[in-house]
Amino acid sequence: MLSGGTTPQDPRLRPALFDSRDLTPVGYAALAFAVGVTAGVLLRRTVPAMAATLAAFAAVQVAWPIWIRQHLIAPVHTVVALNPASAFQIKSVNNSMIISAMPNFTQQGAWVLSSQIVDQSGHLAHIAAPQACFGSNFQACQAYIGRLHLRQVVTSAVQSPRRRRGDSRR
């Protein structure tokens, strides 16, 4: 169990660490036990009850981080200027350029849920694909993107500073 030796700045909802921190492993063990007892009572056979328990617990382990955990903290929307150097994929679909970029976001303890590229008016960026972005000169394409003054809307779950571990103001 990973609970001692961590700092208050560690994000508690980071997907890779959430399952191994604090009381979470105990809660998962209690859930698995309750599901196993329920399956045993309902099925009245040991091996099918064990299989049903394994399937149900695996479903919870998959569903929780994908569909539920992101709704535990209200999301925060932050608009930052798009850094053309953070673009890692540029493709053309129906003569419209689609840019994928790493979030240019430095909020301590934030869990980035989504990132979208928008134009100056705040609408999703639909840019005609220029010739500079189809050649082998990626720097020319980045320079073109920089001249567009695009923005990046980053949606993240940020843990409240008052709710961090070790803070007595709860």
pLDDT in tens, the chain (170 residues): 444 444 434 445 555 566 777 788 899 999 999 999 999 999 999 999 999 999 999 999 888 878 887 777 788 888 888 888 888 877 778 878 888 888 876 677 677 888 888 988 888 888 887 877 777 778 888 888 888 889 999 888 776 555 445 444 44
Domain with 29 in it: 15-71
Alpha-carbon distance values, 170 to 161, 162, 163, 164 (Å): 10, 6, 6, 9
In a domain, 8, yes or no: no
Helix (H) or strand (E) holding 152: strand 151-158
Write out the two tokens for 87: 């673009």
Answer whether 151's CB lies under 8 Å from 79's CB: yes
In a domain, 4, yes or no: no
pTM strictly above 0.75: no
Last residue of a domain, one of 71, 86, 118: 71
Last residue of a domain, one of 71, 88, 114: 71
What residues form DSSP beta bridges with 36?
none
- Clarify whether residues 40 and 66 are in a common domain: yes
Answer whether 107's CB lies under 8 Å from 158's CB: yes
- Clarify whether residues 39 and 98 are in a common domain: no
- Clarify whether residues 115 and 155 are in a common domain: yes
User: What DSSP assignment string belongs to 78-132?
Assistant: EEEE--GGGEEEEEEETTEEEEEE------TTEEEEEEEEE-TTSSBP-EEPPGG
- Clarify whether residues 30 and 87 are in a common domain: no
In a domain, 9, yes or no: no
Write out the two tokens for 70: 């992101």
Q: What dihedral do alpha carbons 141, 143, 145, 146 form, nearest 10°?
A: 170
In a domain, 114, yes or no: yes
- Kindly give, in sequence order, each residue whose CB lies less than 8 Å from that of residue 65, ignoring residues fewer than 6 positions away: 15, 18
- Clarify whether residues 22 and 82 are in a common domain: no
pLDDT score, position 55:
97
In a domain, 47, yes or no: yes
